[in-house]
């Protein structure tokens, strides 16, 4: 990056005051589901903290690969992001089972919507020291380590 491209990034990182602040980050290569999901998918029945699967509905009928293993999602009203660990298909009524990891951190209400596109993570910096390099062409190189903050 040139200095003018890098300066706003460095200023934002400085504003985070090391590990004191958190921010929303939507990773560009994994932000959207790989599957064919295109409808409002919701939880079919309340689910309790600690589970790793739930019934969902709102999908089209008899579809395969609505969500794919490796897709990220979160439930409305919660910041924690989960990963779908098995492909999701729907039955003749548009219902299916969503299997995910890690185990659910908090209860989720019936009909909570599943956000599977533009999934944003709440993250913070992992360390207090930030480093960058300037190459021979005067381009800045910067790497950042983030951790999910809940």
Q: Is 10 helix (H, G, I), strand (E, B) or coil?
A: helix
Per-residue tens of pLDDT for the chain, all 150 residues: 899 999 998 898 888 888 888 999 998 888 889 999 999 999 999 999 999 999 999 999 999 999 999 999 999 999 999 999 999 999 999 999 999 999 999 999 999 999 999 999 999 999 877 788 898 888 988 888 899 998
Task: List the beta strands (DSSP E) in the chain.
Answer: 23-25, 42-43, 53-57, 72-75, 82-84, 96-101, 114-115, 121-125, 132-134, 140-142, 146-148
The backbone region for 58, taken as left when phi is positive above 0, alpha when psi lies in -120 to 50, beta otherwise, is left
Per domain, the residue ranges of the chain are 1-26+123-150, 27-119
Task: List the beta strands (DSSP E) in 12-71.
Answer: 23-25, 42-43, 53-57
Q: Which long-range contacts (CB under 8 A, 24 or more apart) does 135-141 make?
A: 138/2, 138/3, 139/1, 139/2, 140/1, 140/2, 140/3, 140/5, 140/6, 141/1
CATH topology of domain 27-119: Elongation Factor Tu (Ef-tu); domain 3 (2.40.30)
The pTM for the full model equals 0.85
């Amino acid at each position: 990056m040139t200095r003018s491209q890098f300066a706003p990034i460095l200023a934002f990182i400085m504003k985070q005051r090391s590990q004191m602040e958190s921010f929303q980050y939507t990773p560009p290569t994994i932000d959207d589901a790989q599957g064919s999901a295109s409808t409002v998918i919701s939880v079919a029945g309340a689910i309790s903290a600690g589970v790793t699967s739930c019934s969902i509905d709102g999908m089209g009928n008899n579809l395969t690969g609505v969500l794919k293993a490796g897709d990220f999602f979160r439930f409305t009203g919660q910041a924690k992001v989960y990963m779908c660990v098995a492909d999701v298909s729907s039955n003749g009524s548009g219902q299916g089972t969503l299997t995910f990891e890690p185990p659910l951190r908090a209860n989720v209400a019936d009909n909570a919507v599943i956000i599977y596109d533009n999934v944003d993570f709440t993250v913070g910096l992992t360390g207090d020291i930030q480093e960058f390099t300037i190459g021979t062409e005067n381009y800045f190189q910067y790497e950042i380590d983030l951790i999910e903050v809940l």
